[in-house]
Structure 1
Amino acid sequence: MHDTTPLRDAYRALLDAAATVADSGPASPVPPPGEWDADRILAHVALVNAATIAAVCSVASGAVTTYDNRVAQDAWTLDRVIALAGGNAGLRDRIRSQGEALRALCGPVLSEAELDTQVPALLLSNGVVLVDRPLPLRDLLTGLAESELPGHTKQLLSLLPA
């Protein structure tokens, strides 16, 4: 059984930050040049979540899988996800549900062998390759809880007025 407490805490912090930013005033906070606004950050997280859920489900079903986060950085795809989710509130609901689903799948369902399954991974950030090698599925989950979600939580909070 995989402890999903770090995932729960990371999702809670991200969603709290997203709500704080959304409630910060009538005008959406404007990001610094070259940075994403809150909706694009949330759309990116929703796409990363979807890719992670897909990888977990593939491993659990015995299928071969890969993990590639490039689509989660594509401007057209981000805008489409924002529109399909119905904006900020819909994105937050989607992320909340995805977090619950991921925790349900990972906690009691995955065996240690499944968590150790090597998943070919390509992870980019701002066009820079961070990872281009197989990673154990557990490392993808740990990275989501310890790096990806907290990083985007900080990114959201940086949008608040000083």
Structure 2
Amino acid sequence: MFILAPSLINQGNDLLRRHIIQHLQETRKCFGCNLSRVNFSRANLQGIDLRSANLQGAKLKNANLRYANLEWADLREVNLQGADLTGANLKNSLLTNANLQQANLQHSNLQGTDFRNANLSYANLSQTSKNNDIQNRNSVILCKTVMPNGIRTNYCYETSKT
């Protein structure tokens, strides 16, 4: 169970938004809901089902998202720094311009995930499903990142778009 104090919810959110968050707390699922710019930093969201949810610009710093279902989620510009995404389903999600520094994505499903301009510095991607976009096609920041094959990049670089 996670608790969100009213101060964690962005100012200007309406009653409907608060109802969505209350529903999420009770059911641990919210298919396609709008949670953009909500602050879930340090929240325990383990096993939560947020398929197709809009989390654009949300703060999930140091959040527990172990085994969360984020398939088709919009995670553009999200802050996932230090988040635990072990075993999470991120299939076909948008993580463009996301901060994933020091995030643990071990054993996660990254098939079809869009990492354009994402920062994966010091992240752990070991034993994740294959995603060629991480190194081949997108501008991704990899600095001492543990890659899916378990090998850590020994240098810092940004891959270029092709």
Normalised TM-score (structure 2): 0.20
Q: Which has the higher strand share?
A: 1
Q: Which has the higher helix share?
A: 1
Greater relative contact order structure (CA < 8 Å, 6+ sep) = 1
